[in-house]
Amino acid sequence: MGDAVISFVIRRIGELVLSETKFLYGVEGQVGNAQIKLQCMSAFLEDADAYIRNSDEKILMHWKMLLKPTSSMKSIDKADEASSSYVQKQRQLRQAYSYVEDNHVVGFDKDIQELVALLTEKENPRKHKVISLCGMGGLGKTTLARKVYQHPQVRTHFDCYAWASISQQCNRRDVLEGILFGFTSPTKERREEIKNLSDVELARELHNFQKQNKCLVVLDDIWFKETWDLLKHAFPTTTQGDTHSKILLTTRKNDVALHADQHGYIHEPHFLNEEESWELFQNKYSSTGTDSSNSNVDEKSKEKLALEMLRKCSGLPLAIIVLAGLLSKKHTLYDWELMKENVIRCIGQGDQQHDDDLKYRSVSGVLGLSYSELTSHLKPCFLYLARYAEDVTIRVKWFCHILIAEGFIWLRRGCVETLEDVAYDWLSELVERSMIQVKQMSLKGRISIHDLMRELCLSKAQEENFLHSIDCRNQWEEPIETNITRMKLKLFSLKLEDDPMPTLEKLPKLRVLVIGYETFIGDEMACSRGGFPRLESLQLIFMKNLKEWKVEMSALPRLAYLCIHK
């Protein structure tokens, strides 16, 4: 992250030189020298990082080049001028690519047929009420559930449908409301009526609706038995009459599936074989518009290297997709050879394809590589995703604006574009690398992040002191590092006596504060009580409707960005 910080300083100095020339009379040479030294430092940090990843002394060649400021500055200028047409070409490729992400489903045909039959065939003697997809993270459970959920035979069999993402922190009220909204598509007035129901009344209404109608509910990513116990009263069970409604459930844990329904059906998606792995890799790799101008000899060598790396992915779809995204950015045979060495180093030498530890190591190793291979300008864009809760769909335009407000986005020399254009391009590159997923890729669209990728994001954000997260329920007593610049707090009310704010006076470098409120109580922002004299960015996220609020702006004298949303 040091190289990203220095890149930011270089840009600010460059802007100063261009816009404030009249105030720099007599010192412009010193400013220019400082800028050159910072560029050298940035190049050194990038190359040192690459050296650590690849263990190859040859990588430090362009550091030696930058020791000659005049020639290297000319090289940088030429590169910037040449980049304009490349940027336009990449943008066209990304626009075409953005809509094909969900088509990369390989090896699930038999699984889909079996699950569709279980959900729709009347002569099924068991009449399972709960059908569970069970398996480790990255195996494709959610993708498989989505394909079944959208299958034409399923859509014509059931009368009503609803999809609920559960994850580790389940808000029972929001889940049940969302399911009932999905079933009934209520008017605005009806929505208000539902919101005014008590929890017991809401569960009863949802329960009765499923008994009277043929409904399909997908409960995606349930982690704990206790989560099912929170929700089960809203669903008809196997002992409660001849209801035709069904539940399709996904979980990593077999005991959770059994707890939901001892007579239910548990389906475990299979790991991809070598042929399926290669097909998925090719589909993903070819969709990113990679350069195919290499020689046939290189292509054959790359294919051999790819097959060796795929064996290390242990048939895990997520690991294969991320590896393809990584290699789509590597254009020379030498780069592919380096990548193979890194894959082997990160995952290990073992070839035991049925070793669960190896499979977890394969996906975590490839995901870790996907982060370490990011360029300096993309790392903060990825790490900023740590501010979002699990399974949240992120508005592309809002996220771009936040990155711009933070100073992580800058205009590229020689290109006619806006900061918003650049932010969108960089976000699209993370999509190409399969580090984020597309709901709809446009400035008005939405994106999300896989839970395993989010775990990587959170750990890297904490490890690199990029974002410090605190959950008031179980982390409040932990000491807070004094050198943090960004903090994310999860509070559960706005009353100081209910959720006391931390002593932020001891955080002299804090510039960005993200606060998520579970409920709204009172009419004054807790964050305005103590004052934040150094805060530049304040982001407030409300889980419930907010009807009225006020904040004392004099407590935030340096505030440059304020974002308030649900």
Inter-residue contact 215 to 161 (CB < 8 Å): yes
- The β-bridge relationship of strands 160-167 and 215-222 is parallel
Alpha-carbon distance 347 to 438, whole Å? Answer: 27
Alpha-carbon distance 386 to 397, whole Å? Answer: 17
Confidence (pLDDT) at 80: 47
Each residue's pLDDT expressed in tens, for the chain with a length of 566 residues: 555 555 555 555 555 554 454 455 555 566 566 656 665 665 556 555 655 555 444 446 443 334 444 444 444 444 444 445 545 555 544 444 433 445 567 889 999 999 999 998 765 555 678 999 999 988 999 999 999 999 999 999 999 999 998 888 788 998 999 999 999 999 999 999 999 999 999 999 999 999 999 999 999 999 999 999 999 999 986 555 556 899 999 999 999 999 998 888 999 999 999 999 999 999 988 876 555 556 677 888 999 999 999 998 889 999 999 999 999 888 899 999 999 998 888 876 444 444 566 677 778 888 899 999 998 889 999 999 988 888 888 889 889 988 988 888 888 777 778 899 999 999 999 988 889 888 766 777 888 888 889 999 999 998 888 888 777 665 555 566 667 788 887 765 544 444 455 555 567 778 888 877 654 444 444 444 455 677 888 887 765 555 555 666 677 788 888 877 66
Q: What does the block give as tokens for 1?
A: 């992250």
Name the residue among 119, 167, 122, 127 with its Cα closest to residue 147: 119
Confidence (pLDDT) at 392: 83
Name the residue among 250, 321, 332, 258 with its Cα closest to residue 290: 332
The count of residues in the chain is 566
Amino acid, res. 143: T
Amino acid, res. 216: L
Q: What does the block give as tokens for 67?
A: 């020791």
Alpha-carbon distance 1 to 378, whole Å? Answer: 10
Amino acid, res. 387: R
Q: In what order do the strands lie in the sheet with 160-167?
A: 160-167, 215-222, 246-251, 130-134, 265-267
| CATH 3.40.50.300 for the 108-267 domain, yes or no | yes
Beta bridge partners of 159: none
Q: Where are the domains of the chain?
A: 1-52, 108-267, 272-373, 377-462, 467-564
Confidence (pLDDT) at 356: 63
- The β-bridge relationship of strands 394-395 and 446-448 is antiparallel
| CATH 1.10.10.10 for the 377-462 domain, yes or no | yes
Name the residue among 173, 355, 141, 146 with its Cα closest to residue 252: 141
Name the residue among 194, 244, 185, 174 with its Cα closest to residue 215: 244
Question: What would the 3-class secondary structure string for 135-167 be?
Answer: CCCCCCHHHHHHHHHCCHHHHHHCCEEEEEEEE
Name the residue among 249, 224, 244 with its Cα closest to residue 164: 249
Confidence (pLDDT) at 463: 87
Confidence (pLDDT) at 491: 65
Confidence (pLDDT) at 19: 47
Confidence (pLDDT) at 282: 92
Inter-residue contact 398 to 563 (CB < 8 Å): yes
Q: What does the block give as tokens for 103?
A: 């088509």
Name the residue among 240, 235, 171, 473 with its Cα closest to residue 249: 235
Amino acid, res. 126: R
Give burial (CB, 10 Å; 0-12/13-18/19+) of 58. exposed
Confidence (pLDDT) at 438: 81
Give burial (CB, 10 Å; 0-12/13-18/19+) of 542. middle
Confidence (pLDDT) at 383: 93
Q: How many CA atoms lie within 13 A of 489 on its CB side?
A: 23
Amino acid, res. 409: I
The enclosing H or E element of 266 equals strand 265-267
96-112: b (≥16 Cβ within 10 Å) or e? ebbeebeebbbbbeebb
Beta bridge partners of 517: 491, 542
Confidence (pLDDT) at 46: 59
Name the residue among 285, 284, 374, 281 with its Cα closest to residue 328: 285
Confidence (pLDDT) at 380: 92
| Complete DSSP assignment for 208-221 | HHHHHS-EEEEEEE
253 three-state secondary structure: coil
Confidence (pLDDT) at 213: 92
